[in-house]
């Protein structure tokens, strides 16, 4: 019943985007990515990988994020797709919808968009428009609060 919590803080980091760094363009990676800087573009893990993204409180991403595992404590402007696990730390700010299999949301985290549960059986939807309004009824799952309209464009 009370299993040991899997910690991402000890995850192996293969790539670091430093606090003074700004990337303009999409970033595709595998392994561990730690972001303290700014990325203007989509952040995508390689197909079939068990990659992890760690976004610090200083980090910012403007674009879609498609990574199986992530710990977010910075700002994302765009939709987030976490096929395995999404952890929203207290200073995380997401302006977009979060598609998740498992989610952990700390007090103080903000999601200005929808929370959409997706079972871990394969593909995440490409965009929010691909979801019918009736399938968005689970947006308030896991006792998480949200603000803003459900489908914000």
Q: Are 28 and 44 in contact (CB under 8 A)?
A: yes
List the one residue out of 53, 51, 9, 54 whose CA is nearest residue 31.
Answer: 51
* Model pTM score: 0.74
Task: Provide the 10 A C-beta neighbour count for residue 18.
Answer: 10
Q: Are 65 and 53 in contact (CB under 8 A)?
A: yes
Reduced to 3 states (helix: H, G, I; strand: E, B; else coil), residue 15 is strand
pLDDT of residue 134: 42
Span 105-132, pLDDT tens digits: 999 999 999 999 998 765 545 554 454 4
Judge whether residue 136 has pLDDT over 60.
no
């Amino acid at each position: 019943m009370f299993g040991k919590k899997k910690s991402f803080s000890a995850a192996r980091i293969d790539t670091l985007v430093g606090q003074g760094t700004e990337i303009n363009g999409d970033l595709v990676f595998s392994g561990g990515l730690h972001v303290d800087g700014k990325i203007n573009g989509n952040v995508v893990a390689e197909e079939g990988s068990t990659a992890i993204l760690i976004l610090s409180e200083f980090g910012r991403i403007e674009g879609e994020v498609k990574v199986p595992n992530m710990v977010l404590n910075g700002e994302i402007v765009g939709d987030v797709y976490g096929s395995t696990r999404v952890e929203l730390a207290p200073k995380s700010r997401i302006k977009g919808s979060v598609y998740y299999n498992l989610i952990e949301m700390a007090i103080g985290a903000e999601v200005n968009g929808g929370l959409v549960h997706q079972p871990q059986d394969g593909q995440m939807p490409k965009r929010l428009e691909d979801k019918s309004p009736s399938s968005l009824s689970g947006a308030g799952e896991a006792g998480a609060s949200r603000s803003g309209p459900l489908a914000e464009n």
